[in-house]
Structure 1
Amino acid sequence: MRSFILVLAMAFGLAACTEGFVSFPVTSSAQKDVPEDVEIIRLDETNITSFARPSRRHVQSNIPSGNGWNYRVGVGDIISVIVFDHPELTLPAGPQRTAEESGFRVQADGTFFFPYVGQVMAEGRTLEDIRGELTGRLATYIPDPQLEVRVAAFNSQKVVVSGEVKTPNRQPLTTTPLTLAAAVSEAGGLTERGDAREITIQRGNRRYRVDMAGFLNEGMRRNNPTLQDGDVINVPRRQAQEAFLLGQIKKPDVIDLSQDTVTLTQAISRLGGLDEIRADARGIFVFRKRHPGITVFQLDTSSPTGMLLGTQFVLEPGDVVYVVRSPLMRWNDTISALLPSVRAIDLVDSVAN
């Protein structure tokens, strides 16, 4: 990335050498001297609110939300059955035996054996269903039997959490619904490079993109879905989302936009501010690629009002901020000279990465 900045700085520096001198501020008449696919916008009090929020918004997930969670028993689960007032029907746990060791394992055919009753189908059924069947069948031998049915060990259903989490793992599904955010938390949370906006859930033969940041930041409930058996969650590595600050800035560099919203004023301040000797505060330009074309924003920060406007202008990934040199430079020559360098950013970026 440092080499990328060096290439851009050289390109912009060479372009700046061709500039002549006339006057600011930018006016609509200057647009006739630049390509048709370039739009010029001078930032002021009347339009700054249009650029006060990043254009990239949180996306609502389209993964099916389901009709609520009700655990269904599967092969390998250990069932614990307690018949009140009839300890002979409950396998004793004993001081050395766990509830799992004393329970009933659901066999490969989906059943488990219970005294007096025989084989009981459990696979695919809720605990309430199993308790109801046992109660009815035991009533032949015990008047008004009272039962409690639990899962002593959840072995049949799991999800996998992989990618940019601190402890990738497999997690069992239980009677308590497991949401995406809870599963990621159980995996230690995201690493520093994890991207919460681009999480994928593989469910069967379909893959869903889930913007979990939309749930964490804005409470979008559909972006925190309840997981199902077999789901594979993958947290990808966050892609570079950067703006490039060049020209008469004390420390030209890149600004990371992947974590927080960064305004134009914040970005310049983080890099030491303007070069007080060389910079012309009336000539701060932001080049932003659009499809098609390029939008060029001009901000005059020579007054406190201009600096305040800069605190409302939110940078977007790929923005190139260029601060011109004093004395004042000719507007149309400046833009015409710098545009080829802006258009080349994608190519240079791909080589740098």
Structure 2
Amino acid sequence: MRMAPILIAAMAVALSACGVIYNKSAVVAGKTPQGEVELREITPQSLRAANAEPYTPRPLPAYFSQTAQARQDLRAAAPAPIVDRPARPARLATILPPPVPAQSYRIGVGDVVMLATPKSGGTVEQLAGLLAAQSTRQGYTVQDDGTISVPGIGRARIAGQTVEEAEATLFRHFLDKNIDPNFSLELSEFRSRKVTVGGAVGAPGVITIGLSPLYLDEALAEAGGVRDVDPAYALVRLHREGTLYQVPLEQIQSRAGAERVQLAPGDSVFVGSGYDLDKAAAYFEQQLKLGTYREGQARMLAAQVEMRRAELSDQRESFAARLDLGAERRDHVYLAGELPKQSRYALPFGQRAMLADALFDEAGGVFTQLADPRQIYVLRAARTAPDRVTAWHLDTGNAAGLLLATRFELRPDDVVFVAAQPVTHWSNVVNALVPRALSGSISKSAD
């Protein structure tokens, strides 16, 4: 019996010389061959310092975040506020509409023209019934048939004419009624030429185009300005005669890289996120239903939206294939120690991952027979001094400590290490010794 301890000790020395003794991994603070290691406890107070290092998650491509719902679900004309976007999207494309031809204003249905005559002279008496006795100015609205009805003269068609052409038309009507044509005509209200502005603006609605050209930036200002959308994502879409155009909001505000966009009568403008193609389509569809455009234009709009959706789908499938093949760059965290699975955890696109995500999503958890839940470490090298390592220590011996794991943010190239239980270390030693010892005994017996 006295020989047993001596034999076991001799066996341990012999096997140690052969490199069999199990050496467990551990986190050692202080100066080490790998660099200077600082040990810090993860507490509610230290979380702020641990999460303070600047980090922007890799964003998904902009086309991957655009909505692509079924058309029957696209019924909201106004966009929801854009909040909590993780990162600036890729550069938004600019598709400008063709220039609006310069032309004189032509009177249209709904416009109001003002007919004026001198206060003195026989004209007022001759126009009795034409103009009010107490006034030398009278307004007339152009009716749906394109005419105005002037008492004593009758109906005169002036829609589609310039002011000068309308004066000539009324001049002939005055002569036909043997009335002195001493009058002047002017436009007082512009109601026939208009554009609609909707989406993320302060006052969505209809804006009229007067004698002066109306530009896109002026229309946005008149609609109350852009609201509730991040300028980095904001895109102004314009529908004109069945064709979609778009201009990034930042480009409109800075007027960089493009001329001012002049609007044409019948244009429809929608302001929203570059991701909200479907919401823009819903708004334009609503304008079509209100009779702003012809049925043929509605079909053209629907075809263009479907083409955009198909293009987005192709881009997403290509991205997913590149991701599977490892052709897309990813940020990773590495998992080591006594875990069910030694692996690396890919940090998600567009959002931050927590320590608990890596432990329970990729590693399979830490509550095993081998792992010591009191010794969970996140090893992080300093960005400015790679030879300095901070070992953030989390003790989840009390399971309430796992709440801290749900708030500890991971960074690219972090190493998550879980130490072994003390009994696991000696179990590994025995497991290493016994098979080698038995093998030696069997060999001697055979000899």
Q: How does the TM-score come out when normalised to structure 1?
A: 0.46
Greater helix share, structure number: 2
The higher-RCO structure (CA 8 Å, 6+ apart) is 1
Q: How does the TM-score come out when normalised to structure 2?
A: 0.37
